[in-house]
Structure formats: structure tokens, C-alpha cells
Amino acid sequence: MSERIIIPIVGMRYSAVFKGLTKDEATEKSERLLEGISKGERVVLMAENDNQHDALAVISYMKGNFYGRVKAAMKNIVRMLMKDEQVEARYLCGSHVTYFVEIEVDGPLELQWEKLYSMDNCPLSDKIVTSMPLHERRIAAEESEFRRLIAEVRSGNLDCTEVTKLREDFLSCAERMVDSLGFSLSRESEFTMSFVATSLMMLVADPESKEWGGEKLEQLAHKAERKSADSTRDTGEAIFNTMLDSALNDTAMLARYERAVGCTIAEMKAAQKKKCVAELKDWLKKMTTLYDLLTPLENNNMEDLAKQIRYLAIARTDIYSVMAVIALVKKLEEKKKNVRKKKKRNTHKKSLFKGMSEEQKAELKSKFKEKVDKEKIEYVLDCVKENPLVIAALKYINNDCQQKGKYYATEVVPFIMEALNIKKEDIGLELKSISNGISPIKDDY
């Protein structure tokens, strides 16, 4: 006895086939590609052993092109079925960015931890070989009703009146299932959601079912597919799928990155790319573990921080195209901080004379010269707290910048030396040594 199980393939639109296209363009192209694939098309599922984010990842190839990944809920069973790190499958049907393949294996399969989507005459006779947790019994009851109704809907052995009522009951049950699932983190909930999504998408792919189900059936199918993807896909890929479009189409972000490195991404040398990729992968490994923190961060009005963490996890695939993430989150942020610090220092240096006329500047310099002898500059700086002119300068700076805080001797030195037209080389002073042992000065003298 053989078993045939259905495997949903997701992430098709993010393959190299659609690189550089917008979301709408890629969706349209994916639909055309699926229409051109005949039922029974040979599909190869291969183990992605070098995937550092998911050691059990399985990818799908048709006609030599990458078309997506096996959903997380199914990857374990597919791995078990593989021989020589790959397994051949047949194409069943597709809708938008998800398609379904079937694998025929010698059965029955006896597994205590997995649910199989088996294929005899229809995909509804799947065998459940996992125990049901107590808190999932309500969902199990709904699922049982859903299975019964969808089996009757597909049988078509009822008269017109019964069929109409049955279809209404089925859509109502499907709506309840889709709304109630996706909140639990249990594996059973993931499997059930995946089954509901798969069943609805296969109905949508069937012209006759799509005709009677109309827009409501299609909306439910896509909603179930999204919720199933969110619940079963691993964290890095989930963030990747939701954020990649905006990142790839954010020309301003790419421009900022290219300005930071001084060349376009296309002109980057191989060694530079390799270094950036290694750096980003290291960040991804660390930062994707913070995904559970995103919701509380957003709830506490820390959207910017949450957004940065999301950006860090964008480039799980197609990493070269979103290298702007590196500059956006780290390199440009550090550069901006350095620029701000430099501007702040320059502001302080100029603020002593800010707003003064040339006569006023000359008068202030004259007062400094009267009070401070050039030969005694080192003593004055060491005794900076007792110097009334320095204290006045500090208060002036604080008021001008509308800031309160601490200013160290090294920050005061440039003002005095500028006022006296003294160069440190002239008196053999090292600014760093001047501040040693001097306490911070506040603006409340």
C-alpha cells in the first residue's frame, strides 16, 4: 500500500525568477508561470543543508528554477522521505504564490509526531497520527466539522437545494476556522491551520469550486494561507517575506548606502561584498532571536527600534540586493553619531563669540588678556574652577545651547586659547594633560 501526501510550497515569488519585480508584477508573473505548468510536472525537492538559519530547510525546483520552500510544518516529514538528499514529486495545482505537489511513498507511514496530507481519491482523507492536547479540543471539533463539510461539498452527490445549503454551511464553518486559528503556538494548531489553508487554496484552484465560492472563498483562502505562513514559517523567513518588497523598492535607502561606501553596489569588490555579507549574517543570527521582543517594543511606542530589528532580518535570501540594511542600521547610524558629536564640539567652540559684533569680540579678548598672563596660562587652566572668566564662558555656552550638563576642562581650553590667540605649540601644553585631575564643571557656579 502506498501513500501520497500533499506538500505546499511557499515563497515562490521571492525566488531569483522574480528578482527586481514589484509585488504586483511578480504576482502576475507567478500566475502565468503556474498556468504554464502541466499537471504531473516533475518537481525536485532538495535538502538545503547549508542554510544556517534552518538546518532542515527543503527547497523546490521545477525545470531547473528555484520556486520556493517546503512549509515549516512539513519539512521534517519531507526530510524523512528523501533519498540522496532529494525526492521527486508531481505538480498538483497552484494559486498565486503557493503551489502544491504530491509525493508517493511506500506506506502506510507510522509516525507519532506528524500529520500527513495523504492522497487516495481526494486530499481530505489525511491521516492524523498525533495526539490532540486538551486545550485544542474545541478547534478539533471545528476541524472535524470542516472536514465533513468539505468532503460533502466536493462529492457533488446532492440535489441543488441541499448543495446550496451545504455550501453556505461550509463557508460559514471555514470562516470560523480561519478566524479562530493562528493564535495558538502549539504544533497541532499549526497543522490544522496548514490543512485548512491547503484545502481552501485547492478549492480556489478548481474552476467549478471557485465559481460557486466566489470572492468570499478566495478571500478566506488567502487569509488562511497568510495565517498559516505566519504560524509555520521560521522567524527569519517570516520577516523576510513581509519586509523584502519595501526594502528592495526603497531607493532612498539604497542611495544612502551607496553614498556611505563611496560606490554603487554593482561596483563593490568581491572581498567587500563578502565581508558585508558575513557581517550581516552574524547580525541576523543574533537579532532574529529578538523577534519575540518586537511586539512589546511596538506596544511601548518603540516602533523605531522594532523596525531596525526587522530590517536586520530582511536579507535571509537575496542578501546582496538589501545590503543597504547594513548601513541603515549600523554604519550610517555610527556615522551620524560621529557627525553630531563633531557638530556639537564645533558649536561649543563658536558659541563663546556667537552673536557678538567685532567690537564686542575684541573687548572680550582684551578682558581675557588683562586677567590672564600668557606665561601663566597653564596655572589658569589647572585652576579652571577658580577662574571667573571660564565660569562665565561656561554659563554663556550653556545658555546659548539651551543645555544643562557637565563640561570638562578639555572642552574649555579651546575657548580660552582662541580668545588669547594662543597656539598650544607656543606654550608646550598638551590639552589632554591639562584636564587630568580636574573635576567636571557645571553651569551652576
Domain boundaries defined on the chain: 1-129, 131-231, 235-333, 352-434
- pLDDT at position 236 over 70: no
**pLDDT of res. 129:** 26
- pLDDT at position 12 over 80: no
Q: Which value, to the nearest 10 degrees, does the dihedral of the CA atoms of residues 175, 177, 182, 188 take? A: -160
Q: How many CB atoms lie within 10 A of CB 80?
A: 12
- Report helix, strand or coil for 255: helix
- Check residues 353 and 125 and name the one with the higher pLDDT: 353
Of the chain, the percentage scoring pLDDT greater than 70 comes to 32
Which of 9-23, 144-158, 185-199, 372-386 has the least mean pLDDT?
Answer: 372-386
Residue 300 banded pLDDT, cuts 50, 70, 90: low
**pLDDT of res. 337:** 58
Residue 445's closest CA among 401, 385, 400, 404?
385
Nearest-angstrom CA–CA distance, 91 and 41: 5
- Check residues 430 and 353 and name the one with the higher pLDDT: 353
Of the chain, the percentage scoring pLDDT greater than 90 comes to 0
Which of 205-209, 302-306, 329-333 has the least mean pLDDT?
Answer: 329-333
Residue 297 DSSP code? H
| Listed ranges 122-126, 223-227, 259-263, 303-307; the one with the highest mean pLDDT | 223-227
> Is 60:70 a contact under the CB 8 Å cutoff?
yes
**pLDDT of res. 325:** 40
Q: Region 378-400: what's the mean pLDDT?
A: 44
Residue 353 banded pLDDT, cuts 50, 70, 90: low
- Check residues 206 and 409 and name the one with the higher pLDDT: 206
CATH of domain 1-129: 3.30.70.2330
Residue 204's closest CA among 102, 118, 121, 100?
100
- Check residues 388 and 30 and name the one with the higher pLDDT: 30
Overall pTM surpassing 0.75 (yes/no): no
- pLDDT at position 165 over 50: yes
